[in-house]
Structures are given as structure tokens and as C-alpha cells.
Structure 1
């Protein structure tokens, strides 16, 4: 018997064992669950005491009434709905909401979702306490200050607490040289166990994509409602199909040969595990049409079998974008056009999937072949790469990108802005003309919406959220351009920078109109609607 049949047999056995382990784990986990509930009561008392003391200090420091602390308007009670027993859901619900987000200080679009979700929760349920399970062992004031600087989101500090995980190592991709997806997913079980040893919340929400942690919660603590905000599926049919010749993405075309066959079977079996775990989640939110379609395809058959499907199952909740603030801060007028240059702006974390090398190659092609651009008074085009640098791996990526820019002879026309503050980003969005996105199957694309709100003409990948939800025709006319290859991007840059002034201004206005579908207020309303379902479930289960 060869290696391949043995490997597949072993993997299938692991899959079957995992699939039927829930009841065993529930029984074996009873002593742990009982102990965690008792310990959590003690932890709650400590957190409540800390909250009261911080609230007292906060009020003294601000010397103002609670209603004046923030000019955020409350979400209307019309979205509150009814509780399971037919009565109105309690607006004064004061439970603990646990958010699993081990990289909460990363500064990306996923983090903006987290902080906007906490802000919406605080405004709707001001007595609730939001707890973030994170591996970023930093002082609370430092984290919340960065939230203000990076996202301009102001939270009520006394009712936000951070519980620090010591097991984040187990969900890092670098921890596993082989079978990374399975390793990270099993590692998330260890991390979730770590979280529950710190505090068992009343509601448990994963905002980073660790679905297995929600499955563990549903097994050990069935009374705790769970929710997933899915930025992208851990595994998808697109991902499996990318192994085929001509596929796209990090693993494009790697499905040939023995190793490719093993990977394909491994991913297929892992997808079945992922689907089973997804069937246990109470409330599911996805960030885009693309993500919703994939999660429905993966999870709905299993959820139907378990009777989990509801009228609101797998809801689209578009991520929050600072559209209103950008509209106020960035003008789109004939006068403001004089302040813009032929600058191309790429806002995105320095991660491999963002495909910065493709954009550098496209920019190099554009610079070699571009004709004169009289509209821009012969100003020299520039490519500006803005992104957060999370760790040493990101630092190495930036270093390699700088080297690539030199190899492509465009280093003098490329600028790197690492860990930019919100004012810095605003300044560049006022000055730039084009917004760029290079990621294949970007699940949504908050940066692209920011481009549109600032009036930038987008040149984005012809896939995922940017294609399906964001850079779409408005009033029957385009708001930007789609591309897949370096040559297509270069052509997109040329088209965007060669438009006549009147059409440039008209497209900027259409782009802004498009962005108005993705406001902070729209996100807050949808978040509260789904959060209310969780509060209803928690109240109902607690009263059993």
C-alpha cells in the first residue's frame, strides 16, 4: 500500500473521529465547564468592581454627564425586536459579551469591525461589559488610544476590558510547516480553552474566523449563544479550485503530482470538518455577497440538517467604513482637483495575500509605457503603499518590497507609509487620484470603500467584494476599473489618469455615491439587529 492511500485513510479516520467526538467531549468537559462557571463568577465580581472604579475615575476626569460623553445617537428601539417569550428585549441587559480577536491591535479592516461592533453594543446596551480576548499584551489605554488614532472610534473605556491569551502562538500560520489549516483550527481550540479559563461570557463572538472555537463553546457551554462575523471562509470551493492549472492565489496551480493530490484531498476533508463546526453557530454574519455565497454553500446543508436555519440565517453585514467622516474631510470639487496629483494609493496590510508585488510590477509597466499626461501638468506619477506592520514578518515583507521596487527601477516613485495615523491617511486621500487593490478574492475591501468615499477612482482586482459589491456601476456608469494581470492594472492606471477633467470629476462623485452604502450607521443598525438575537437567546436560555 503506497503513501498516498495510507495518508488519505489516516486523514479520513481523523475526520470521522473528530466529527463524532462532540458528545464525548461534552461529557468529558462537564467537570471543566462546571469549574469554569464557578471561576467565572469570581472573575465577574472582580471585573464589575474594576468597572465601577474606572467609571468613577472616568466621570471625575471628564466632569460631564454621561449623555454628553459621546454625540453618537442611539440606535432606534424599532430594531430591538421581541424576546423569545413575546416581550420586548431588555434594553438594560447587562451581561458579558466576549469577543475573540487575538490580534486586536493589528490596525486592519477586521479590527475596525471589532471596534465598531463594540461601540454599537455599548450604545445599545450601555450596561453590558465587552471583553476582548487578545494576545496583544498591552495596556488598555494604549490600545484604545490607537483605536482613536487609526479608526477615529471612541469607546467608553470603563466597560471595555482585555483578557490576555498566552496561547496565540497556536493559531499563527508560522507555527505549522505542514497542514497549516488543520493546525491553526486545532490551535484555536487550545486558544478558546485558554479564553474560557479566563472568563466564560454570556455571549461569545468570534470576529476573526476561528469557527472551531465557537464549536467548542457550544459543546462545553450550550447555554452561551455564539456568533461568527465571517470575513472570509477558512476554506472555500474557490480555494480548492485554485489548485487546478491556471488557478489564482497563493496556491495557484499547485494541485498536480502526488503532493498536489494530497493537498487536494486534505483540503476537501478539512472542508467537511469546517462545515460541521459551522452548523453549531447560532448567529452568522458575513461581510459581503461573496463571503455569504461561500458560507451558504459550505454551512447551510449541515445547518439545515441540524435545524439551525432561520429566516435571518447567514446575514450580510457590510463592514463599517468612515464614509461620513471622509465626505466631510475630503472635498470633491473643481478647486480640490488642483490639489490632487497623479498618485496611486494602495491601503492594505503588508500581508502576502494583498499581492503588493503585482501592483509594483503593474506600476513599473505603467511607468515604462505611459504617454504624457497633460491633465496632470506633467507631474511624475507616484505609487503610495500604506499599511500596518504587525510583526517582524511584515517588516521583512516591506524590506523585500523595497528591494523589488529597486529591481523594477521605480524606487524613486514608490513611497511606503507604515502604521499611518488617520490624519496621514486623510492627507494622502486628498492628494491622490487613484485607489488600488491587488488581492485576488478580497472578501470585502474596506480600503476600496474608503477610496470611493474620498473620491478616488479605483483600479481593483476583478474578483471578490471589490468586484461584486463595491466598484459597481452607479446610475449606469462606472465608478472604477477591474484588472487581474499586471498589464491590465497598468492599463487601468492609464485609463484612470487619462480621463478628461469633467469625466474625472463625475466619476469621483459616482464613486462617493457608491460608498454611501457602507456607512458606520448602516453597520451599527445591522450589528444591533443580530446582537439582539443573541441577547434574546441568552435571556431565553438563562430562564430555562
Structure 2
């Protein structure tokens, strides 16, 4: 353990030393040196690039041969990949004709693409949208998931998200340095450590392949600035799920309630003051980095507001200086067609509270468990019918050989200590059909994370007709569980008491009002369809293609 800590500290010190020494060079000379290094990298990797392209084209020919040999019925879906979606391009007919045959390489930087969370759904939907719009383009995914080959990866994407991809034009490029962006690598100065560590991983990625367009879909903004300094002619894009640092984080240092995340109230004393100065300095560096990104996409109004605040001053000369809000894609259409919401189906709903979220500390499962325990105890104190006692189901992905496994073990212990073990069910890495089954039968959908950047699961609740009870912060408050003019679409809460009261209020609604709220929520969810995501994604990436 001590050796690991020593290694991580030495790594951070070495990176910090580099950051201190490099600025001593004149900025113009430094840029010239980095461009020279980038030219050498492109030259050294040219043969691998040519091999990847030839391999993809050979796979496409083989795929086309198999398609022709298949029956017309089975080949219909495959032929869809040859239909180019041009409906959402904003550049006019001439632009469409010029760009629809683009056959370059888009590099997606997503080292944890097999994690199975909302960020991964965005990644794979982005790949699908790209394939539909530019069927000859190659989608190269930089990943550290060595244990999964392409066939297994795409099968998991289909199994977990119900997303079918065109295999020949998907390429997985395996990173060997992913450990440098793992938070446990940096017990101190984690934000800076991970950000500088991402430069090591990006260097690894570029030495595998220099793409024609480089897109970060996981939040490692430093890699985009690094790319721009090495390869000025390579356009870059960021899909920001969550700002690495935000003004809310800085404000949480002074919070006295303990409700604002893991650093709530951490600004006290000498250690707190050092942390505050470190965060302020990092925020300035993060803002400078954001100025190097060509196109910025944000997953919510909340994220966009913070990115405008932190990145805005550095982006004033950028032709695409303002971030575009592109809500994450959710299977709204499928949920609407699969799950019926009516007075008749209300009888099939169970008093079940559902939480779909990755089993990670930031998702704040303990708050939900304690709130549920309080809710059950209050019901029992009122001598409620034990036959109709509510149940809690927690569904989420778990990254194996990671802290996630320890986290879910501790959650099970907490459920036992709270005496709700028999009323609580944990389901890890559930398939899409399993998720659908629970969405169809549950009554309440909950999200307990403070400042959830968006909340794909909340949209899934709404589309499935569940009554949402969400944390009164972040994306769920700003974009999802809002009154669109015809009434409430759910409940918002912050404390154990408020969550427990919201559970009681939601289950106690008359049948007519329950159905009415479910239908209002379902109508609200139409703002977050896969089709809406595809159209906006294509528009933004189209700027880089042009």
C-alpha cells in the first residue's frame, strides 16, 4: 500500500515538474516543439493507420458478401446502414452532397467504454448516429478494456442498451496506460493527478492512431488541449457529462448541512484553505484547457451553465464558443410502445421503489437506504398492512476488480443494519429486458445523487410511467422533473425526511391523480428521445467534418 502511494505521489510530482518547466519556454517555441512532436507521431503511426483502414474495408466487403447471400428478410436491417441520414444537417443541400461520403476516422476517447452506465449509452448512441450519417467513416474507440474483444463488446452493448452497431466500421484500440486516470492512483490532489494522468493515456492513444477528428466522450478535457497542441489541424469535440470542477463544488466547501456531496464542509481549517486554493487554481487551468476545444456539447442545462462560467472566458475567439445542450439519448420510444399507462394497468403496478444507477459512491445509495428505512418505520408505526409493504430494488452496473464491488458489499451491510434487508433487492449488471420488466411493474423511480449532471434513469422512469422522486439539484431539477405548464411530473427532495415523505405522498395519491402524473411525466420525456440526440449530435460533428 505504501509503495502504491509513493508511486502515485512521484508520478504527480513528475507531472507537476513538467508543467512548471515547460512554461519557461516561450509560448510560440513550445507550440512549435509540440507540433514537431505531433508530426513525428503522425509519421510513425501512418502504416498502422493504413492497415486499420484496409482491414475495415476488407471487413466491409466480407460483410456485404454475407448480406447478399442472406435472405431478403434477414438482410433488411443490414441494408439500413447504407441509408445516409441527412435530415438534420444544417448546411444545406450542397453541404450534404459534399459530406455524406466522408470516410475519415473519428477517434472516441472513452477508456472505460465497457462500464455499462449512462455515459456509455451516450458513447454507443453517438457511434450509431455517426454510422447512420457517415456510413463510410471509421469509429475508433480508445479503450482500456483489454478483457473484451470487439464481438463481445458489441454484444454487451446490444444486451445492455439495445443498441445495434455496424461491426465492420467499429475499431477498438486498446490502451495500456488506463491506470493513470483511475482515482485510486492519486490519494492526494486527485483532480490534478487524473487530469495530468489523462495526458499519458492520450499519448498512448495517439501512438496507436491519430484520428481525423478527436472526440472526448468521458470528461478528460486535458486530452483535447493536448491533441490541439500536437495536431492543430485535427478538429476536437467534447461531450461533457460533468465538469471536472464547478462553482457548486467550490461552494460545497462551506456547506454546513452535509448534503452537498462528498466534500461538503471540507473548507474548514488549514487543510480546508489549502484545498480551496488548490481547487481555485485548478479551475483556472481547467478553464484554459476548455479554450482549446473546437466544439463543446453538454448533457444538460446545469452542465452547460458551469461550462460557460469556467470555459467561457477562454473561448471568446472560438467560432463555436457557446456550448450546445444535447440531452443524452433515452429509449423513450421503445418504453412508450412497450409499457402502457392507463387506469387498467395501474392495478399491475406494485408498491415498488426502483433506483437504476451505477453502484458508485457519488450515486448516494446510502441516502436512499436510510430514507427507505425511515419510510418503512413510519408506515409500521401507523400499523399499515404488512401485505402491501413497499419494496426497494436497486439496479446498477458494477465494474469488476474495482472499488464498486466493495461499495455494493458495504451497501448490503447497511441494508442489514437498517433492518430492511428482506425488503431490498440488489441486481447487478441487469439486461435490458430485466430493466424493462421492473420499469413496467414499479410505482416509483428514485434518484438520490447530489448534482446529478443529467439523469438518464429519471427519463426512463418518466417514459415508463413511473412517479419520480429525485434529488432537488442538478439535471433532474433543471431539466427533467419540472412542471411544463399542466402539473407536476414528480417529486423533489434533499434529506432523508423529504425522501421518505415523498415516497409516502407518491404512493398515497388517488388512482386518478397517479395516472395523470404518470401521463404528464411520459409526455415530458418526449424531449429526450434517441432521435433528438441523433439529430443534434450529427449537426455538431458535421461542423468538424466540414
TM-score with structure 1 setting the length: 0.91
Shift of 1:433: 0.4
1:124 lines up with 2:129 in the alignment: no
Matches of 1:363 and 1:134, distance apart in 2: 38
Distance 1:421 1:68, change over 3 A: closer
User: Of 339, 342, 345, which aligns to 1:330?
Assistant: 339
1:380 lines up with 2:389 in the alignment: yes
Distance 1:287 1:442, change over 3 A: same
Q: Does the CA-based 8 Å contact 1:449-1:515 persist in structure 2?
A: yes
1:493 lines up with 2:498 in the alignment: no
In structure 1, the residue matched to 2:10 is: none
Matches of 2:84 and 2:384, distance apart in 1: 46
Shift of 1:302: 1.3
User: Of 440, 448, 453, which aligns to 1:438?
Assistant: 448
In structure 2, the residue matched to 1:34 is: 39
Distance 1:86 1:364, change over 3 A: closer
Q: Does the CA-based 8 Å contact 1:373-1:498 persist in structure 2?
A: no
Shift of 1:215: 0.4
In structure 1, the residue matched to 2:233 is: 223
Distance 1:146 1:78, change over 3 A: closer
Secondary structure in structure 2 of the residue aligned to 1:120: helix
Distance 1:221 1:67, change over 3 A: farther
Matches of 2:520 and 2:88, distance apart in 1: 32
Question: Superposed, which structure 2 residues align to 1:457-472 within 5 Å?
Answer: 457-472=467-482
TM-score with structure 2 setting the length: 0.91
Matches of 1:35 and 1:379, distance apart in 2: 69
In structure 1, the residue matched to 2:53 is: 48
In structure 2, the residue matched to 1:8 is: none
How much is the aligned-residue C-alpha RMSD, in angstroms?
2.4
Matches of 1:387 and 1:70, distance apart in 2: 34
Structure 2 residue runs without a partner (length 5+): 1-14
In structure 2, the residue matched to 1:168 is: 178
Distance 1:105 1:202, change over 3 A: same
Shift of 1:55: 2.0
Secondary structure in structure 1 of the residue aligned to 2:410: helix
**Which whole-Å deviations, capped at 9, do the CAs of 1:22-48 have from their partners, x for residues lacking one?**
645433334432222123321122112
1:57 lines up with 2:57 in the alignment: no
Q: Does the CA-based 8 Å contact 2:489-2:517 persist in structure 1?
A: yes
In structure 2, the residue matched to 1:411 is: 421
Q: Does the CA-based 8 Å contact 2:88-2:535 persist in structure 1?
A: no
Secondary structure in structure 2 of the residue aligned to 1:496: helix
Secondary structure in structure 2 of the residue aligned to 1:530: helix
Question: Superposed, which structure 2 residues align to 1:148-297 within 5 Å?
Answer: 148-246=158-256, 248-297=260-309
In structure 1, the residue matched to 2:3 is: none
Secondary structure in structure 2 of the residue aligned to 1:188: helix
Q: Does the CA-based 8 Å contact 2:143-2:175 persist in structure 1?
A: yes
Secondary structure in structure 2 of the residue aligned to 1:255: coil
Distance 1:89 1:239, change over 3 A: farther
**Which whole-Å deviations, capped at 9, do the CAs of 1:52-110 have from their partners, x for residues lacking one?**
23223323444458764165875334525169x98964110000000000000000000
In structure 1, the residue matched to 2:464 is: 454
Matches of 2:115 and 2:109, distance apart in 1: 14
Matches of 1:322 and 1:70, distance apart in 2: 23
**Which whole-Å deviations, capped at 9, do the CAs of 1:183-233 have from their partners, x for residues lacking one?**
000000000000000000000000000000000000000000000000010
Distance 1:30 1:78, change over 3 A: closer
Distance 1:267 1:495, change over 3 A: same
Matches of 1:533 and 1:20, distance apart in 2: 35
Q: Does the CA-based 8 Å contact 1:344-1:381 persist in structure 2?
A: yes
**Which whole-Å deviations, capped at 9, do the CAs of 1:329-371 have from their partners, x for residues lacking one?**
1111223222210000000001111000000000000000026
Q: Does the CA-based 8 Å contact 1:375-1:501 persist in structure 2?
A: no
Secondary structure in structure 2 of the residue aligned to 1:29: helix
Distance 1:218 1:428, change over 3 A: same
Matches of 2:436 and 2:153, distance apart in 1: 21
In structure 2, the residue matched to 1:422 is: 432
Q: Does the CA-based 8 Å contact 2:41-2:206 persist in structure 1?
A: yes
Secondary structure in structure 1 of the residue aligned to 2:531: helix
**Which whole-Å deviations, capped at 9, do the CAs of 1:293-315 have from their partners, x for residues lacking one?**
000011111111xx1153x7210
Structure 1 residue runs without a partner (length 5+): 1-10, 537-544
Secondary structure in structure 1 of the residue aligned to 2:439: helix
Matches of 2:109 and 2:17, distance apart in 1: 30
Matches of 2:66 and 2:525, distance apart in 1: 37
**Which whole-Å deviations, capped at 9, do the CAs of 1:509-531 have from their partners, x for residues lacking one?**
01100100000000000000001
Q: Does the CA-based 8 Å contact 1:89-1:532 persist in structure 2?
A: no
Distance 1:217 1:314, change over 3 A: same
1:535 lines up with 2:540 in the alignment: no
Q: Does the CA-based 8 Å contact 2:88-2:538 persist in structure 1?
A: no
Matches of 1:505 and 1:153, distance apart in 2: 30
Distance 1:121 1:517, change over 3 A: same
Distance 1:87 1:531, change over 3 A: closer
Secondary structure in structure 1 of the residue aligned to 2:91: coil
Distance 1:127 1:486, change over 3 A: same
Question: Superposed, which structure 2 residues align to 1:78-97 within 5 Å?
Answer: 79-81=89-91, 89-97=98-106
In the alignment of these two chains, the number of paired residues is 522
Greater shift after overlay, 413-422 or 43-52? 43-52
In structure 2, the residue matched to 1:364 is: 373
Q: Does the CA-based 8 Å contact 2:35-2:232 persist in structure 1?
A: no
In structure 1, the residue matched to 2:490 is: 480
